Structure 1
Amino acid sequence: MNLNAHQKQSTQPRRSVVAQPATRAWADEQAALQQDQVQQDKIWRESVEAEQRGRKTWYQNWSFLKDYDQMGKKKEQKPLPNYMSVFSSKVPNSTNQTIGSQMNTELGRDLVNMDYFFSTGARKRKLDGELQPS
């Protein structure tokens, strides 16, 4: 072994191969849970129940806050409209009349033209006569 090869090896930072004990314990626990589907299902059910209990206690203890603003004044609830059109007066409707489109503007037409010219190389072309099978 020559001296230069030894120097190259020693200048590279060493990586720790041993995992941290907490990380290893967590990984072992996760591997055990993957094997025990019943235990995994039990943990899932417990977490869902805990979330439901938390939602219920929040509603009982703190739901009154949703009716007040940051200054403690009562919020006025705006009444919902009886009818609201699904069509926009600002954005033109598409051909299927569900989603608006900006293609009727000058910028939209320019974008469509640019897309057409940039994608010409990817389109199928008719082969010349000498390249077609005889």
Structure 2
Amino acid sequence: MAGGGLPAGPRTEWAALSSVQQDQLWRERLLAERQSQRRWAQNWSFLRDYDPLGNRKEPVQLPEHVPLFSDTVPNASSQVVGSRLGTALGQTLARMDLRFVEGARKKKLDEELQPV
């Protein structure tokens, strides 16, 4: 346990570093990640061409053209849920959208917090 009764851990050690030291450590971690990616590509990338049983996989052909609009997901000119809000899918998407932006919405302040 460290001085304030809290165990010394990675978070407290990270917070104790200066911003220059944190930046240097971050750069070193990124460099190590890139090097490990290169080593994997040199040593193990052949595994991408085979399935778990050792049979050679056929490369997947990507389509030449992918339509911008979907037949199954409602679209509008602004790429958000449009005129199909009455459908079950549209209502589900609207509820999900409300849940995702709930914390970011502006809210009216309580009476005691209102400016005078």
Q: In structure 2, what is the Cα distance between the partners aligned to 1:78 and 1:38?
A: 45
Q: 2:79 aligns with which of 72, 81, 98?
A: 98
So what's the TM-score if we normalise by structure 1?
0.50
Residue 76 of structure 1, CA deviation: 0.9
Residue 98 of structure 1, CA deviation: 2.9
Q: Flag the 1:89–1:54 CA change in 2: closer, same or farther, 3 A.
A: same
After superposition, residues 1-134 of structure 1 pair within 5 angstroms as 19=5, 23-24=7-8, 29-33=13-17, 36-94=18-76, 96=77, 98-99=79-80, 102-105=84-87, 107=88
CA RMSD of aligned residues (A): 3.2
Q: Which amino acid aligns with 1:81?
A: P
Deviations 1:67-100 (Å, cap 9, x if unpaired)? Answer: 1111111111121111121122234433x16345
So what's the TM-score if we normalise by structure 2?
0.57
Stretches of structure 1 that go unaligned for 5 or more consecutive residues are 1-17, 112-134
Deviations 1:94-128 (Å, cap 9, x if unpaired)? Answer: 3x1634554253x479x6xxxxxxxxxxxxxxxxx
Q: Which has the higher helix share?
A: 1
- Paired residues, what number? 88
Verify the 8 A CA contact 2:74 2:81 in the aligned structure 1.
Answer: yes
Q: In structure 2, what is the Cα distance between the partners aligned to 1:61 and 1:32?
A: 38
Q: Which has the higher contact order (CA 8 A, sep 6+)?
A: 2
Percent identity for Structure 1 against Structure 2:
39
Q: Flag the 1:103–1:73 CA change in 2: closer, same or farther, 3 A.
A: same
Choose 1 or 2 for highest CA Rg. Answer: 1
